[in-house]
Amino acid sequence: MLMLLHGTAYGLSDVFKENIYVPEDLAPTDSVLAVTVGEKAPDFTLPSVHHGEISLSQYLGKKNVVISFVPAAWTPVCSDQWPGYNIVKDLFDENDTVLLGITADNIPTLFAWTNQMGKLWFPVLSDFWPHGETASKYGVLRSDGTTERAIFIIDKKGTIRYIDVHDINKRPPLESIVGELEKLNK
């Protein structure tokens, strides 16, 4: 059930004004992983808000990839996750890594939502149709059609090196992601 957000306990940015809805009592996770660390990451091709179609395979041999699945646009924790990544492009660059943000929302929704965040340096991909197909390949599509709040780190060989299917109600600490990226180059 969704309710209108009043005084939020999420430290939500005022940039979103009163346009954020907050879910009640969400189960921390609600899916079964379909991949494991050490496996080849399933390829996908998805439309993005500003960068055309993006395929995971286009980074093979070139860049490490961080995939950040977030559950839904216009919800509190999600709205305060990618804006933080937006000020640390240098940390991704230093580790020869690209970031791909994915939700199961459609492109117009993602367009409006991410515009509130400012100009994002990383592609934002829509897994809307066929609904959640990519999230399903990774095993992070929840029963309500949203995705988990999950981080996958994939090396240049296309191998999954790190998985964090995080409690949907909490934001993964930035240091956990950066720490894993630094391990890729050791």
Please report whether residue 10 would count as binding other proteins according to CB under 8 A: yes
Shortest Cβ distance from residue 104 to other proteins (Å)? Answer: 21
Residues 157-176 that bind other proteins (CB under 8 A): 171, 173-175
Shortest Cβ distance from residue 179 to other proteins (Å)? Answer: 9
Among 49, 117, 125, 163, binds other proteins (CB under 8 A): 117
Q: Residues with catalytic annotation?
A: 78
- What residues contact residue 135 under an 8 Å CB cut-off, 6+ apart? 69, 102, 104, 127, 141, 147, 148
Please report whether residue 137 would count as binding other proteins according to CB under 8 A: no
- What residues contact residue 133 under an 8 Å CB cut-off, 6+ apart? 44, 127
φ and ψ at 174, to 5 degrees? -60, -35
Cα–Cα distance, 171 to 160 (Å, whole number): 21
Contact residues toward other proteins (CB under 8 A) are 7-15, 80-81, 83-84, 86-88, 116-118, 171, 173-175, 178
